Amino acid sequence: MGLKKERNSNFELLRIIAMLFIIFHHSVVHGLLNNNTSIGGWTPVATNVWLTTFTGQMVATLGKVAVGIFVMISGYFLVNSSINGKKSFKKILMLIVQVYLYSIIIYFVAVHFKWVNPKNTIVLQQTFLPLFYNSCWFVSEYILLYLVYPYINVALHNITRQQYRNLIIIIAITFTLVPTLIPNFGSYGWYGQLVVFILYYLIGGYIRLYGTKHECLLGTFLTIAGAILMAAVIFYYDYMGATTHNQQFYHNSFINIAGQFSPSIVLMATGIILLFKNIHLGHNRLINAIAATTFGVYLIHDNPIMEQMIWLKWLKMPALLVPNVKHYLIIAVIVCPLIFIICSLIDYVRILIFNAISFVFNRFSRSK
């Protein structure tokens, strides 16, 4: 998210699609199934809505896949990069500036319209310390990855292809397969998420450095196989939850099967990357311009204040958890792209302003 380097538009288009996936994901985890047992919350799942719950969980997996896609794209483009302290500092600084810019602006807008209590401790912490209170967990993990990727690259360029492949397999088994097969294995905590980010980075880098045979065929197989495996297991757990009235089945179906540590997520993200690598769009200015706003789209719509307002206050998404799933699907298909468009336009204005400031600053610096 938020990378400025000009690229061919195949991966830029994928970034747009991935951000749409994330918005659909949030329509479920912050909306339809908010605080629901099926996503690790405490509100029990009613037996008559288990099919809607299953549909929501499947939609929510798109967001997990999208996270893998974003990090794999970074690995694909950064694996041949060398250490550049100035460039890395500028990149990280710009990420942090954008995070705080939107966090603070949204806070004051919310205070003005009385959406929040301006003295609420949690709100203040999330607003002014967003990187430390899980308000922007993706950004926190991405910055950590960005700090270590040059050293990862040094290692990757000094091992054989077979050693590289074995490294991916070892990390994948340890941090995705084992936690899925053994739910009580234990939580890896924040460092587990970072290791999974590194796994995604390694996969993206491997595809860039070595590629694979029959990439389109393999990409199609991995995507479909991952989706079928995910759907089958979640369906089984949700069905068992409905028939046995045991809420633990619902909990396990999403947290252990469809979480960020799921091997199915890794398979689908890898498959989609392979497919889009072989789509030849050339350079499309419109696609690239829209893709440049995806990080802003994320920061705006997933801000803690905005997620409450959008999914709970305005759209009242939990009320759509009814036996007929079409009510949720219709709203989601209309609203999620609309949210992307609005947030993208806002961030495009931000980009224009930042570019103007940069132009004036550079011109002033040259004139001195």
Per-residue model confidence as pLDDT tens digits over 154-171: 999 999 999 999 999 999
76/11 Cα distance (integer angstroms): 10
pLDDT tens digit sequence for 289-331: 999 999 999 999 999 999 999 999 999 999 999 999 999 999 9
DSSP symbols for 46-67: PGGGHHHHHHHHHHHHHHHHHH
pLDDT tens digit sequence for 42-59: 888 888 999 999 999 999
Q: How much helix, strand and coil, in percent to the nearest 5, is found in the chain?
A: 80, 0, 20
H or E element at residue 280: none
* Average predicted confidence (pLDDT) for the chain: 92
If one counts every other C-beta atom within 10 angstroms of the C-beta of residue 185, the result is 12
**Residue with the larger pLDDT of the pair 259 and 199:** 199
**Dihedral class, residue 81 (left if φ above 0, else alpha if ψ from -120 to 50, else beta):** beta
> What is the predicted pLDDT for the residue at 258?
76
Runs of H (alpha helix) within 43-136: 50-78, 85-112, 121-128
pLDDT tens digit sequence for 64-115: 999 999 999 999 999 999 877 788 889 999 999 999 999 999 999 999 999 9
Predicted model pTM = 0.94
> What is the predicted pLDDT for the residue at 367?
67
Percent of the chain with pLDDT over 90: 76
291/181 Cα distance (integer angstroms): 36
The yes-or-no verdict on residue 2 having pLDDT over 60 is no
Place of tokens 């000009």: 6
DSSP 116: S
> What is the predicted pLDDT for the residue at 37?
81
> What is the predicted pLDDT for the residue at 310?
98
Tokens in use for 101? 């810019």
> What is the predicted pLDDT for the residue at 224?
98
pLDDT band at 186 (very low <50, low <70, confident <90, very high): low
**Angle of helix 50-78 versus helix 137-156 axis, rounded to 10:** 40
Using CB atoms within 10 A of its CB, is residue 125 exposed (0-12), middle (13-18) or buried (19+)? middle
The yes-or-no verdict on residue 5 having pLDDT over 80 is no
pLDDT tens digit sequence for 19-31: 999 999 999 999 9
pLDDT band at 185 (very low <50, low <70, confident <90, very high): low
> What is the predicted pLDDT for the residue at 154?
95
The yes-or-no verdict on residue 3 having pLDDT over 50 is no
Annotated domain spans of the chain: 9-367
> What is the predicted pLDDT for the residue at 82?
83
The yes-or-no verdict on residue 366 having pLDDT over 80 is no
